[in-house]
Each structure stands twice: as structure tokens, then as C-alpha cells.
């Protein structure tokens, strides 16, 4: 296997905006783009390989026969593809929602649970997210506020700015308000239980389904999070790096490169490189891999055993591994 540059799957939900097309050149301007699935093997939308002899192949067709060659020892084949990475452009309020954990008996259809993290790439003045509750609440109180459509009154509203990051464990009620643009790294699941959707309707006049009973089952009503934490970066010659999160499902670092930075992809895990700002060039010690130009919005998957690689140029990126 060789390093893959990927084309994302595009999702045009009713709350999306125009930043993914306008700033990143992703998708078309025909309709609002809510999400771009930058690294995905999910049946609801898979990335497509853009380079090399596998160009044009969906990643979901390549992975099954090459699981260990691409993903490594930290990702056993019987557990499936481990992660899904997205850009999300919230031009309007997202639904108030929660995701189950792996252990929930209602998880079906081959989906895993869903723990995720958000890195705020940009936010308009006054933009906010909902992140857990403002205090501990009972199941009965939560249900009453859902029925009264006042659920946001007991949620923890956090005003956000570029550079904030949030670890959103399964069971945490959450949402985004307008003007938030994030990178999301999550378990490979598309399972969402909507609690409140502002009575919105689609083009046919239909409201989206709510999942109240399941949401009540899986919500952690005791979790009252503190303020946003901005990880402290370690500065090296040519670049800086900050560990955003390390959990059983993924490890994510944010790097800012002034001139160049060198890293390694070993035998235990793949590495996903998501360029969030600027441009540069990606070089490999293995001469069998040609260097590639990279720019804002590019997603690159390095298979296990890629070895030493170097990113040159003024850019920023999220590095994700398992």
C-alpha cells in the first residue's frame, strides 16, 4: 500500500452553509453543504482515492482485503474501520442530540457507539455550542423539558473561538449554534438520537424524526462539563504540536508548521493528515512513495509502515491515529 489522497463524501443537510465549497473547494455550490466526510469507510458515504494505481476506488472497497496492511495492529479487522473524520459547517442550529455508547442494547444495524471530539477551526463572534447540562438533572426533568421544547434552558452553553477543542463522550447531549466550523474525529458511526430539532421541516414539509426514548436511555445526565480547554502546544524548530485528545478510540494532535516538521508512521497504526490551513509538500523517506503537494482541505491516509515523513511549508494540520 501507499499514501492515499482522498476525495470526501459530501452531505447537504438543511443546516449547512457555503464555506466548504467557497473556501475548501469541496462539493458544488448548488445547495448548502453541511458536512464533508474527509476520511470515511462508512456505508452512508465513503471517501474515494485520488492518486496512484487505486485512483477512483472507494476506500470502502480497498480496506476489506488490505485491513492489516493499511490500519495496523491497533485496529483488529473484526472491529471494522475505526474512525470517521469530518468537516462540519453549521450555518444554522444543529439538532439537540446524543449518541449511544458501544454497550447500549439499542445499537443495531452494524453501527458502533459514537464518541467524538471537535476542534473549532473557526467561529463567528458570539458563536456557541451546547455541551452537556448546566447542572445534574433527573430523567423526568429532562423529559419534561423535551416535551415543553425548553431543553436548551438546562444545557451548558459554551461560547467558542478558533482553537478550542472538546471531547464529547458517548452519552453527552450536544449541538452547535450558527457560525461554528469544526473538524470532527469520531468513532465510525452514523448513529444519532435527536432530542429537539426546532420544529424544522424539509422541502416536503416533513419534520425529521426524533428519538426521545432512546435518547433518555443513553444520556448521561450527571455530566456537567467545565470551560473549554485550549491545549498547550510544545514548540520545536520549524513547528509546534498540541495533543488534543487521546482515548481508546483515537489520538489527535494539532500541528502548526512554519517551515517543516518530521514524523513517523509505524506498524501499530495508520496516520490521517487533515490539512486545515495553508499549503505545503509531503515527503517520504521511502523513495517508492512520490512526494505530494498538499493544501487546505486535503485529506491524506498513511498506511501502517509508511515510515518517516516530512511536511514542508506554512500550514496547519490535524494528525489522527488509533
Percent share of the chain, pLDDT over 90: 81
Residue at a domain's end among 184, 218, 252? 218
Report the DSSP beta bridge partners of residue 254.
Answer: 242, 318
Q: Is residue 306 part of a domain?
A: yes
Task: State pLDDT tens for residues 271-299.
Answer: 999 999 999 999 999 989 999 999 999 99
| Cβ atoms 214, 223 nearer than 8 A | no
Q: Are residues 111 and 200 in the same domain?
A: yes
Q: Is residue 211 part of a domain?
A: yes
Q: Are residues 173 and 62 in the same domain?
A: yes
**C-alpha grid cell for residue 125?**
463572534
What integer pLDDT is reported at residue 303 of this predicted model? 97
Whole-model pTM over 0.75: yes
Of 19, 135, 157, 194, which one is the catalytic site residue? 194
Q: How many domains, in total, are found in the chain?
A: 2
Q: Are residues 240 and 281 in the same domain?
A: yes
What's the rounded Cα separation, in Å, for the pair 188 and 67?
15
Q: Are residues 138 and 173 in the same domain?
A: yes
What integer pLDDT is reported at residue 226 of this predicted model? 73
Distances (CA, A) of 223 to 115, 216, 280, 300: 15, 14, 41, 35
Q: Are residues 56 and 185 in the same domain?
A: yes
Q: Is residue 227 part of a domain?
A: no
CATH number of the structural domain spanning residue 207: 2.60.120.10
Residue at a domain's end among 218, 246, 267? 218
Q: Are residues 101 and 240 in the same domain?
A: no
Average pLDDT over residues 31-58: 95
Neighbours of 296 (CB within 10 A): 16
What integer pLDDT is reported at residue 297 of this predicted model? 96
What's the rounded Cα separation, in Å, for the pair 155 and 172?
11
**The pLDDT of residue 104 is above 90:** no
Domain holding 311, by residue range, is 234-321
What's the rounded Cα separation, in Å, for the pair 46 and 51?
16
Residue at a domain's end among 192, 218, 244? 218
Tell me, yes or no, if 308 is annotated catalytic.
Answer: no
Amino acid at each position: 500500500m501507499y499514501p492515499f489522497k482522498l476525495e470526501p463524501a459530501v452531505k447537504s443537510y438543511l443546516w449547512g452553509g457555503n464555506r466548504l465549497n467557497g473556501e475548501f473547494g469541496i462539493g458544488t455550490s448548488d445547495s448548502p453543504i453541511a458536512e464533508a466526510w474527509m476520511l470515511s469507510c462508512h456505508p452512508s458515504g465513503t471517501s474515494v482515492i485520488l492518486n496512484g494505481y487505486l485512483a477512483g476506488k472507494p476506500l470502502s472497497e480497498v480496506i476489506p482485503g488490505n485491513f492489516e496492511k493499511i490500519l495496523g495492529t491497533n485496529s483488529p479487522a473484526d472491529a471494522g474501520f475505526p474512525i470517521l473524520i469530518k468537516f462540519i459547517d453549521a450555518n444554522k442550529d444543529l439538532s439537540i442530540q446524543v449518541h449511544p455508547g458501544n454497550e447500549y442494547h439499542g445499537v443495531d444495524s452494524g453501527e458502533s457507539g459514537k464518541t467524538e471530539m471537535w476542534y473549532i477551526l473557526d467561529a463567528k463572534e458570539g458563536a456557541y455550542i451546547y455541551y452537556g447540562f448546566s447542572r445534574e438533572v433527573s430523567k423526568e426533568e429532562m423529559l419534561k423539558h423535551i416535551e415543553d421544547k425548553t431543553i436548551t434552558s438546562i444545557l451548558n452553553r459554551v461560547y467558542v473561538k478558533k482553537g478550542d477543542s472538546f471531547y464529547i463522550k458517548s452519552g453527552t447531549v450536544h449541538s452547535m449554534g450558527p457560525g461554528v466550523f469544526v473538524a470532527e474525529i469520531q468513532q465510525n458511526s452514523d448513529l444519532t438520537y435527536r432530542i429537539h430539532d426546532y420544529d424544522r421541516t424539509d422541502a416536503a414539509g416533513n419534520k425529521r424524526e426524533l428519538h426521545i426514548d432512546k435518547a433518555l436511555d443513553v444520556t448521561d445526565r450527571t455530566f456537567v462539563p467545565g470551560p473549554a480547554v485550549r491545549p498547550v502546544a510544545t514548540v520545536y524548530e520549524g513547528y509546534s504540536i498540541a495533543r488534543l485528545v487521546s482515548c481508546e478510540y483515537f489520538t489527535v494532535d494539532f500541528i502548526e508548521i512554519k517551515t517543516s516538521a518530521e514524523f513517523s508512521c509505524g506498524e501499530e497504526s495508520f496516520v490521517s493528515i487533515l490539512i486545515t490551513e495553508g499549503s505545503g509538500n509531503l515527503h517520504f523517506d521511502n523513495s517508492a512513495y512520490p512526494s505530494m503537494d498538499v493544501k487546505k482541505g486535503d485529506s491524506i491516509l498513511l498506511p501502517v509502515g509508511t515510515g518517516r515523513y516530512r511536511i514542508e511549508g506554512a500550514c496547519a494540520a490535524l494528525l489522527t491515529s488509533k
